Chain A
């Protein structure tokens, strides 16, 4: 791991490059080879030991100089393969080119043509599997992590612009009422698009706060809640109504919204909130939590603020987190910040197969999270009070590749060992919560409980649309947002045809 550099150092380094290449004026004269030779700008961040003790954001964002230098690395490829990697097809060379010239407002406008939530996506998109995976520069360097740091530039532009009033032209009221179920990224996006088109939009949210997983799951140190709140405030300013503490399927059903409450259309974006467990012995012992519970207590219920919050969180010394995705990294790093002395990630495959964003894995490693790879828990052991004291694990090795090309992990016989811990957090992903679909039999669903929609986002119930995790299965913020846009178009067509 490279030595820690302060934001000031990184800014000075960028300034030196900028002056040396006479950026931005000299950009036009730079040949592709010269651009490619510019080193990728490192994200300024809090130092690992310091941040492990606070909840503040880890990545601090590029400086002005860094953005110009990083954006100058873009080769402005004619066919722009990066755009194909972005689920909402942002004009990446367009906005990166504008940023390289220092035209930050223009750059943000280009992004906003395609994306509603750049401050969020710039932070949490798995870029190395999306826009950065297909970027020519990364291909040249044979490492997608070395591509143009598209998300970091996006984040910079969004943060810079968010303090400014964004002017939206709202169409004349259409007199049509749309209900949105859930205020996660998908619901918020649909609401914005529909409000702009003049529809009367109400978001029904089960929780007492809006934002979905971005407020109850993804921790503050990765995505400050104020950023999500800003989006919610913008929507309120646009006239979108938020109704909290309202559980569709219990307080009212979709049918009632349509038939009794006068809504002309409904968008179902209730996410995937149903935690998976492993079904191993001891899973209901005290000290075993789903990542959803642990993170909700810590984030939404603010248990990290022990002095003020009424919601308790388990006092852990040694924690084992099961899983290798973003949820696992978030749970592990939160446990560390809540005061655990030792936190393990227990994962059945190797680091290469981990579905988490590469940056989060690195951050977790820097903070001292211990990775027990090729290891799988088989049993949780408790004491006479029903509290967790240890887990039993089995070692694995990678076998032959399966049909998907991934090497299948195989248990090594007789490799059982026990690890003393007092807390287990299962981060094995989410499946679809049946509350809405269970009370709306007209909705066609897959055998996994996901709602089936057509290309416009419409379900089997006329006027009822769906998108985000409830359709995709637990996926990503950007996909949820993309679905929201598709559905907004579909709903608009449906209401105005």
Chain B
């Protein structure tokens, strides 16, 4: 049982939760994630990045978008409530080193949440960080303040131009690649399609590009192989070998089709869960 000590709604469907998890708070590093489960018997195990943590307080922060059954249900939990199971920290931490040129961090939508600890760690390593944040529309931009506080420069793009540049994140990314001082590294986290195109953008300029894959997972310990992806000519397990990989080597089409493995089930489950969520919220009112 892990207590929810703070909850905050960041946008229409994005929520932040600070949860009690002393051991995880102590050992977690940038790039790592947890797997949580809401119901002992019938719950599903879902991975969420550790967006922040406080070792002294013994808490970690998760930021999630309510996209389906489990995340919807999670969004109905309140401060003081608890999450049945939280396992972590999982995955291999981000490899951060001192760079001579700027590091470009690209976050799409909810991807800004997992990007946050990486920006933090890069600053701690003494790197210059330029962050590109993108979303469909202004309302979906999250954590702008936190990102601004850490980054040397922030560029905001929206698809509809409601905020910042009316552009896809790949546009400013390309400009940076073409600039005199080539970026030392790009870290791109967001929807797979965005990561795919970021990797395609940087490839001609040979700018090393790290992406964080969000494949479907079960155990998160390397036992089931459900999270596997093709990277280069090798099969890798995202939960232990990743979640970060060289974006230029990832087989994106395979990864994206694997992520749609259960789309029929998810649609059905989402219907049932949103009804349940409605029910719960009317009960609470």
Question: Which residues does A use to contact B, with CB under 8 Å?
Answer: 206-208, 244-247, 250-252, 273-275, 277, 279, 283-287, 289-290, 292-293, 296-297, 301-302, 305, 308-315, 385-387, 433-435
Contacts and interface: CB of A to CB of B under 8 A. Distances in A.
Contacts of B260: 286, 385
Contact of A250 (B41, B90, B269): B90
B270 to A, nearest CB: 11
Nearest to B89: A250
Nearest to B44: A310
Contacts of A301: 44-45, 218
Interface stretch (B51-59, B184-192, B194-202, B221-229): B221-229
28 contacts: A206-B87, A206-B219, A207-B219, A208-B84, A245-B85, A245-B86, A245-B87, A247-B90, A247-B221, A250-B88, A251-B27, A251-B87, A252-B27, A273-B219, A274-B222, A277-B235, A279-B235, A284-B229, A286-B261, A290-B224, A290-B226, A301-B44, A301-B45, A302-B41, A313-B265, A315-B264, A386-B253, A433-B221
B40 interface: yes
Interface string B200-211: 000000000000
Nearest to A387: B257
A409 to B, nearest CB: 25
A310 B39 contact: yes
A448 to B, nearest CB: 16
A301 B216 CA distance: 14
Contact of B40 (A208, A251, A274, A285): A208
A246 B19 CA distance: 16
Interface string B245-285: 00000010110011011101110010001000000000000
A250 B224 contact: no
Given A206-B219, A251-B23, A310-B42, A244 B85 contact: yes
Interface string B106-128: 00000000000000000000000
B39 to A, nearest CB: 7
B239 to A, nearest CB: 10
A433 B221 CA distance: 9
Interface string B15-48: 0000000011001000000000101111111000
B230 interface: yes
B222 A251 contact: no
| Most-contacted residue by chain B among A247, A273, A309, A314 (CB, 10 A) | A247
Q: Is the interface of B mostly helix, strand, loop or mixed?
A: mixed
A435 B235 contact: no
A207 B40 CA distance: 11
Nearest to A208: B85
Nearest to A305: B42
B158 interface: no
Nearest to B256: A386
A252 B89 CA distance: 9
Interface residues of B, number: 46
Given A251-B89, A275-B225, 14 more contacts: A244-B85, A245-B86, A273-B219, A277-B225, A277-B235, A284-B251, A286-B261, A292-B223, A292-B225, A296-B223, A311-B44, A385-B257, A386-B258, A435-B240
Given A245-B85, A308-B42, A310-B42, A273 B257 contact: no
Contacts of B242: none
B113 to A, nearest CB: 20
B44 to A, nearest CB: 4
B71 to A, nearest CB: 11
Contacts of B24: 251
A292 B228 CA distance: 13
Contacts of A312: 44, 262, 265-266, 269
A152 B230 CA distance: 46
Q: Which 6 pairs show the lowest CB-CB distances between chains A and B? A: A386-B257, A273-B223, A310-B44, A312-B265, A293-B224, A312-B262
